[in-house]
Amino acid sequence: MSIVWYFDFISPFAWLQWPKIKELAQSQPVTLRPILFAGVLDRVGQKGPAEIPAKREFSYRHVLWRARQAGQPLRFPPTHPFNPLAALRLCIAAGNDVRAADAIFDWIWGQGQAGDSIDALKPVAAQLGIADPAAAIADPTVKAQLKANFDAAIAEDVFGVPTLSIDGHLFWGGDAHDFALAYLRDPAMWDEAEMHRVATLPIGAARI
């Protein structure tokens, strides 16, 4: 099966799912695809959770509670939302593998450090063996790969992060992880009659 994980370091929900993705990657080949969440929101015409004041406050409290329930460290960076472009490019420049993503996630969400500039990320870059991080993230091939990741996400109709894509079937959010694992165990569930029926329900009313 083709398993792809679309994520952005800006998302605390991606950090919550990250341990499960690492575990999955130990038994299945998982392609990591960092993407710019803001670009996805622009494409689908939607506001992010942090752009709606009441939803922002609730989401922050909710992810903190979920992390505590899971026994997972979580400390918010100095500001949020922040510009994650440098972090996304650094991940790609460092090999776009579990080690690179893990180091960046831990820096931002495990330690609560800033991830909004390459200067802020210099300690992580050094940890990943990148001597000139500014040059690394300015590399045209790195920029092109990030764009290609975004184009792939849009082609798959990704509408949020984190999202697991399994053979083109999208499982959005960490709370859908068990659903994704169930599909991995039994792909035929996707073809059940009721699964088809709910996916093709007529729309009874729509906002204009």
What does the alpha-carbon distance between residue 85 and residue 8 come to, in Å, rounded to a whole number?
A: 9
- Kindly report, residue by residue over 12-53, the tens digit of the pLDDT: 999 999 999 999 999 999 999 999 999 999 999 999 999 999
Residue-wise pLDDT for 55-66, tens only, equals 999 999 999 999
205 is a domain residue: no
pLDDT at residue 207 greater than cutoff 90? no
Tokens of 13: 């929900």
Residue 175 lies in a domain: yes
Q: What is the mean pLDDT of the chain?
A: 97
Task: Please check whether residue 91 lies inside any domain of the structure.
Answer: yes
Tell me if 71 is assigned to some domain: yes
In a domain, 123, yes or no: yes
pLDDT tens-digit series, residues 131-180: 999 999 999 999 999 999 999 999 999 999 999 999 999 999 999 999 99
Give the HSE-up count for residue 56: Cα atoms under 13 Å, Cβ half-sphere: 10
Q: Which tokens is 5 given?
A: 């994980």
Q: Which CATH number do you get for residue 123?
A: 3.40.30.10
CA distances from 187 to 155, 169, 190, 198, 201 (A): 22, 10, 6, 17, 22
At which residue do the structure tokens 């409290």 appear? 61
> pLDDT band for position 1 (50/70/90)?
confident
What is the domain extent for residue 73? 3-199
pTM of the model: 0.97
What is the structure's pLDDT at 208?
79
The confidence score (pLDDT) of residue 26 equals 96
Is 54 part of a structural domain of the chain? yes
Tokens encoding 66: 């979920």
pLDDT level of residue 199 (50, 70, 90 thresholds): very high
Picking from 133, 127, 113, the residue whose alpha carbon sits closest to that of residue 9 is 113
Kindly state whether residue 206 falls inside one of the protein's structural domains. no
Q: How far apart are CA 17 and CA 174, in angstroms?
A: 5
Total domains in the fold of the chain: 1
Q: Taken in order 103, 11, 173, 63, is the CA torsion positive or negative?
A: positive
Other Cβ atoms less than 10 A from the Cβ of 97: the count is 11
Average pLDDT over residues 88-108: 98
